[in-house]
Amino acid sequence: MTHHQLTDEPPKPPLMPTRQLALRFSSTRRGARLARQLAVQQFTEWTDLPYDSDPARAAALVTAELASNAIRHGSLPGRDFRLALLLLPGLFRIEVTDTRPERLPPPHAAPQPADGTSGRGLLLVQAHAHRWGRTVHDAYTKTVWAEVRHDTTPT
């Protein structure tokens, strides 16, 4: 698997998460903003890295994009999205679960036309995440996940 290749199955972590947290948020812009703020708060608390570090910024950007996509492309009226955060050895895993399993992200982020006004979110995720993918759990939900490195371990 290449560094940024999307997979349909989550990688099996070498160890269990040392910390984890999951919460539901409303499928609104406010919900996405709160999810991003929570992810950065947990990232900095769990890793002892500052808010303005590159890994913290990557975690913020990835969370914002995944939450935004869940709201824009994966929500049904009245349904929330779920944010799960997991601290793995060397990795911070962000999982966003929504209620539209039939609307999967494309297997590879593709460049969009220069004059386009949307469609660059997955390119950003791909650029800032160590790896990312998607998992369909059942007929009612899917999870799009990404892992951000928080140490200097070589890939």
Tens of pLDDT, residue by residue over 41-70, are 999 999 999 999 999 999 999 999 999 988
Spatial contact of 86 and 19, defined as CB atoms under 8 Å apart: yes
pLDDT at 73 over 80: no
* Interacting residues of 9 by C-beta distance below 8 A, sequence separation 6+: 133, 135
Query: Given pLDDT bands bounded at 50, 70 and 90, which one contains residue 72?
Result: confident
Among candidate residues 99, 87, 91, 114, the one with its CA nearest the CA of residue 144:
99
Is residue 118's pLDDT more than 90? no
Where do the H-state alpha helices sit in 48-118? 54-73
The pair of structure tokens assigned to 84 is: 């799960």
In the prediction, which pLDDT does 5 show? 45
Nearest-angstrom CA–CA distance, 131 and 113: 24
pLDDT per position as a tens digit, 11-48: 554 557 788 999 999 888 999 999 999 999 999 999 99
What the block records as the tokens of 144 is 């799009």
Cα 143 to Cα 74: distance, rounded to the nearest angstrom = 10
Superfamily for domain range 6-149: Histidine kinase-like ATPase, C-terminal domain (3.30.565.10)
Q: What is the mean pLDDT of the chain?
A: 81
**Higher pLDDT pick, 81 / 4:** 81
